[in-house]
Copies of this chain bind each other. A is one copy, B any other.
Amino acid sequence: MSMDPIFRALADPVRRRLLDRLFARNGQTLGELCEGEAMTRQAVTKHLAILEAANLVVSQKRGREKLHFINPVPINEIAERWIGKFEAPRLAALAQLKRKLEGDDHE
């Protein structure tokens, strides 16, 4: 699985703010997410489509409304596979330490 769409989706401040708002309150409709953004509904729709394509947001229809839910999995993947690499020593040491302390050393 490529991480390119994830990084691309995170590159825009509008989309990061949308994720922030969904993190603050999950399951918001398109109309709710449009409030506060200084652009048309269609522009927000496109941003949400990009977030969905990156699997950062999942949507679901309820009647005439469309609910949006944040999906933390890709962000965790970035943290673990990419960003984690740059602080690998520190985090690896911590994780190993944690395992040792929990007596959970099944490697």
Assembly of this chain: how many copies? 2
- B contact residues around A13 at 8 Å (CB): 4, 7
Do A83 and B94 touch across chains, with their CB atoms under 8 A apart?
no
- B contact residues around A98 at 8 Å (CB): 94, 97
| Interface of A, helix, strand, loop or mixed by DSSP | helix
Q: Kindly state the separation between the CA atoms of A7 and B94 in the bound complex, as whole angstroms.
A: 26
Number of interface residues of A (CB under 8 A): 26
A72 at the interface (CB under 8 A from B): yes
Q: Known pairs A23-B85, A75-B86, A79-B84. 19 more at Cβ < 8 A?
A: A4-B13, A7-B10, A7-B13, A8-B11, A10-B11, A16-B82, A70-B86, A72-B86, A72-B87, A76-B86, A76-B87, A79-B79, A79-B83, A79-B86, A79-B87, A83-B83, A94-B97, A97-B98, A97-B101
Which 7 pairs between the two chains have the least Cβ-Cβ distance?
Answer: A11-B11, A72-B86, A79-B83, A75-B86, A94-B94, A7-B11, A8-B11
